[in-house]
Structure 1
């Protein structure tokens, strides 16, 4: 098997990860992707096909512009990005409980490869889990012998394997995809090659190999404990997930909202295309000879026609416009419900009971915070063990405490953002929130809260 091989779960999720990346990037990226997210109509396909022949009155460029106008009129709402910002603002208020061995205390402020501390790492992991459902972490050692946490994206961890080790299912292979600067790269135009960092257990010892795409080994080492030459008996990598930290791929909490936004985008293209045709009726003239002239006068172009000629407009009635508008409303409601399910609703439950309930709902902001903290704690324990310190001295815990007021403000901010897109009636979205179990308040109570709620902090995004 080649080093470029991918795990079946990775292959199954790649399209969703790519879609989430595009959904977060916003309208410009979505439009640049063209027919990936907005297929051409059959009429546009036919027009472009005919434009390649001499029988068409349109040039190929004019035919292509039919789709460009259709695409440019479509509206992609920023529900995902705005909701993520609101959720991260809520998470950034949480205070992790941190305890480290004295020889590792510096990691609280400088834990990652790019020099950020544990609190910022926690925000990064939560953000990745909300949008990708996965965040791989790897403990490594710098040139001075100090450990740090290297972070990867879901897309750069294409392969892994678990095997039975002493009666447990442990990681025995992890492959990370990286970029390596080419030796002949220009100073102002850097060029990179894809390389693969292969982590495995060789004769019971942790081994790291750097390979090119052909599988040629470029580097190889057997990292050992800092106080001895004894090799590590495990791979010091953790895969943070939304419901647990197993190596299996978890679901993406904001995926449903992203799907609703993209469906809305496609519906809006039809809706605004229909509105465009309605606003610009097609003029027609009949009863004229080729020798007849038309005289136009006045600022709004009154036509002076020859005797016995007629003129008028072909108006687009658009019987399906209202159905399209209602379908767009359905997607706004679906997005509101999706946001309500991700935001933790608080209450008087114990932490274990709440996590069990939220896990039953697949994933939530609460479970994401808990599993993110657990993943970071496990990575720090690996670092402590690698340095010859007691892993039991490591603590990194977050017990999310979202007050009712904070959750209400966050959810109403998300609701407000979705309402602004297309001026959706608030009453319809309030009903969606009640159906999702987020609230039992009346329309009047929720309306008052919307009017009084201030902006939600967005630090950490």
Structure 2
């Protein structure tokens, strides 16, 4: 008997790692909410009420620093410091404002994709289209409210997958997606969430041909998962798909392979720093307070002093017996846990920098210079893989609404996140050189003006720049003063 809920071995192997990074990125409440998962008890064998009270205090005093979350935000901010390049045919204009059918633009979708890659190593893109027949023209298409959508799936949502070799190509022939569907209750206010599974297959239809099919499984009242019937999507021309319009996006490559997430090591170090913090705060609580002591006294004097409410402090006289003494014992600072925290803090800074540049460094992610090393960084690879996957997803969308997708080039359809993660900033000398070059007719004043406005060179081809120069020459613009 088939089991649609079956999880791929690689999924099972990595699921707890993804959850660990998620918890750390959510912050202190999520980490402390897992109690002993991230902060073990000192005496796990003692289950008494008193021992539980000690642990609750130990947990409450611990301080978790959200270094991983801040690094994640810094890396995403660095990648999107410059707006991505976005080119699409008019038939796909809706993707610019609503790419996934839930109101997220392609820009926001790509930001979420980068977050998934840094936290989980992988995510997935899936393109679908409403279950309607092909439209004969744009007006008919709009009347049907039928638009291709790009869905971003987290690593946790894709529970199973498989591949098949057709000819000399390896293609996905099975993808199982776990989905949560919300239904409004009969009272009109309450909401109930139900799980369903969307199964994407590449099926052999005979004569060496394969077709892409979709089937959604839901649980019956008897607790049995039943498919709702297979559907065979077609493109704009009414042809079946010979592959599944689905791709994994990875931190290293866009294959089905799963590896450790870029932020996993930083996450583990962040948790180790959290445990050091708990030990340090415990030490401060128990050992940081001064301890009063007295010598030359017996229990009779002590009992009498308690009856008479002897006070310790300024502006009071403390009676002590002859040859007795009174003092304050102050422990020496316990720096071991504190030093361990400092070491891990420095390691976390360096680890965050290595996500941006190759090799070790003592700079944070946002402080790293934009040099040649960044071309081989983890962040750069993530960005390149997202660019390729989204551009391919755009082509799939176009196949649903255009008769001949093969005629589209990169000048017609492209999504590209810039790899200039750290803006160089405005340089007066460079601006002067650009102005002198424009005066001599080697470059355009338009480029000089845009550099002064943004501090970055405009993204355009050599032909575009030459056209700008020719236009300005034809205008006989004379800025020499002669």
2:395 aligned with 1:381: yes
> Which residue, 323, 329, 336 being the options, matches 2:342?
329
Superposed displacement of residue 196, structure 1: 0.8
Aligned partner of 1:30 in structure 2 is 31
2:227 aligned with 1:217: yes
After superposition, where does 1:78-117 map in structure 2 within 5 Å?
78-117=66-105
Q: Residue 267 and residue 135 in structure 1: after superposition, are their counterparts in 2 closer, same or farther (change >3 A)? A: same
Distance in 1 of aligned mates of 2:374 and 2:32? 40
Superposed displacement of residue 347, structure 1: 5.4
**1:277–1:316 Cα contact (<8 Å) kept:** no
Aligned partner of 2:420 in structure 1 is 401
Aligned partner of 2:42 in structure 1 is 41
Aligned partner of 2:405 in structure 1 is 390
Q: How many aligned residue pairs are there?
A: 381
Q: Residue 307 and residue 117 in structure 1: after superposition, are their counterparts in 2 closer, same or farther (change >3 A)? A: same
Structure 1, unpaired ranges of 5+: 52-59, 359-363, 407-461
2:353 aligned with 1:340: yes
Distance in 2 of aligned mates of 1:139 and 1:242? 21
Superposed displacement of residue 41, structure 1: 0.6
2:299 aligned with 1:288: yes
Aligned partner of 1:75 in structure 2 is 63
Distance in 2 of aligned mates of 1:250 and 1:374? 19
Aligned partner of 2:462 in structure 1 is none
Distance in 2 of aligned mates of 1:383 and 1:109? 15
Distance in 1 of aligned mates of 2:283 and 2:186? 51
Larger mean Cα displacement after TM superposition, 69-78 or 119-128: 119-128
Superposed displacement of residue 182, structure 1: 4.8
Distance in 2 of aligned mates of 1:302 and 1:19? 58
2:267 aligned with 1:254: no
Superposed displacement of residue 225, structure 1: 1.6
SS at match of 1:192: strand
Q: Residue 108 and residue 312 in structure 1: after superposition, are their counterparts in 2 closer, same or farther (change >3 A)? A: same
- Bigger-Rg structure (1/2): 2
2:180 aligned with 1:179: yes
TM-score normalised over the length of structure 2: 0.71
Structure 2, unpaired ranges of 5+: 132-144, 205-209, 358-367, 426-482
Distance in 2 of aligned mates of 1:196 and 1:306? 82
SS at match of 1:224: coil
Aligned partner of 2:384 in structure 1 is 370
Superposed displacement of residue 226, structure 1: 3.0
TM-score normalised over the length of structure 1: 0.74
**1:254–1:338 Cα contact (<8 Å) kept:** no
**1:223–1:231 Cα contact (<8 Å) kept:** yes
> Which residue, 123, 132, 136 being the options, matches 2:111?
123
Distance in 2 of aligned mates of 1:339 and 1:381? 35
Distance in 2 of aligned mates of 1:297 and 1:219? 86
Distance in 1 of aligned mates of 2:228 and 2:235? 23
Q: Residue 292 and residue 334 in structure 1: after superposition, are their counterparts in 2 closer, same or farther (change >3 A)? A: closer
SS at match of 1:379: helix
Distance in 1 of aligned mates of 2:380 and 2:85? 16
Aligned-residue RMSD, C-alpha: 3.0
> Which residue, 230, 241, 245 being the options, matches 1:236?
245
CA deviation string 1:322-379 (max 9, x = no partner):
2222221221121111111112455564xxx964x43xxxxx2211111111111111
Distance in 1 of aligned mates of 2:324 and 2:162? 80
Larger mean Cα displacement after TM superposition, 323-332 or 256-265: 323-332
Q: Residue 25 and residue 198 in structure 1: after superposition, are their counterparts in 2 closer, same or farther (change >3 A)? A: same
Distance in 2 of aligned mates of 1:354 and 1:299? 63
